Amino acid sequence: MAAETLEQVAGALAAEGREIALSHGMLAIVTAPADVGVVVRRLQSDFAFDLFLDVTAVDWPAQEPRFEVVWHFYSTRHFSRVRVKTRVPESDPVVDTLIPLYGSAAVMERECHEMYGIRFRGNADLRPMLLYEGFVGHPLRKDYVKEHEQPLVPYLK
């Protein structure tokens, strides 16, 4: 059942000219930042990918554009997963929010924002969630020094 769904999705999106790859049995769709909303809306309405699993980013310091934003979706009807990827530059790391499609995206976009500095256009609440107010930088970027602490309480002595 999952294999048929993947074939259908791959066929339909390849017909639209999307870049499709199969990675370890999982369908990966590579798209431009502006088209993410269109692709995901298509996946949700036509192929029943109704569960938003996660949004995260990958930092490639030597490449341009530097950041790769990755979404994962799951279909509880077809029991299959799909991955959507796009690239954004360091100078303007912005993609559109998916809150209108999936409410749970709000929290995961917050985490992606604090850890990688990716901004989600349309998400009004990008306060830090795991980090604290006043934390400077984005710790999961490769150029953040791992041991660089930013204590809230002054140290003794």
Partner 1 sequence: MNRTIPIHSERAPSAAFEYIATKKDELIGWARKFSLFPYPFVTACCAMEFMSVSASPYDTDRFGAALPRFSPRQADLLMVVGTITHKQAPILLKVYEQMCEPKWVMAFGVCATSGGFYQNYAAVQGIDRIIPVDVYIPGCPPRPETVIDAIMQLQDKIAHARHPIITSTF
Span near partner 1 by CB under 8 A; candidates 35-43, 46-54, 88-96, 129-137: 129-137
Span near partner 1 by CB under 8 A; candidates 34-42, 66-74, 116-124, 146-154: 146-154
In whole angstroms, the minimum distance from the beta carbon of 57 to partner 1 comes to 18
As to burial, measured by CB atoms within 10 angstroms (0-12 exposed, 13-18 middle, 19+ buried), residue 75 is buried
User: Do 115 and 126 meet the contact criterion of CB atoms below 8 Å apart?
Assistant: no
Closest CA to 6 of 31, 32, 30, 25: 25
Q: Which is nearer to partner 1, 143 or 155 (CB)?
A: 155
Q: Does 153 help bind partner 1 (rule: CB under 8 A)?
A: yes
The residues pairing with 57 across neighbouring beta strands, listed in sequence order, are: 69
Q: Which is nearer to partner 1, 92 or 149 (CB)?
A: 149
Spatial distance between the Cα atoms of 76 and 96, rounded to a whole number of angstroms: 25
Q: List residues binding partner 1 (CB under 8 A).
A: 130-132, 139, 144, 146-153, 155-156
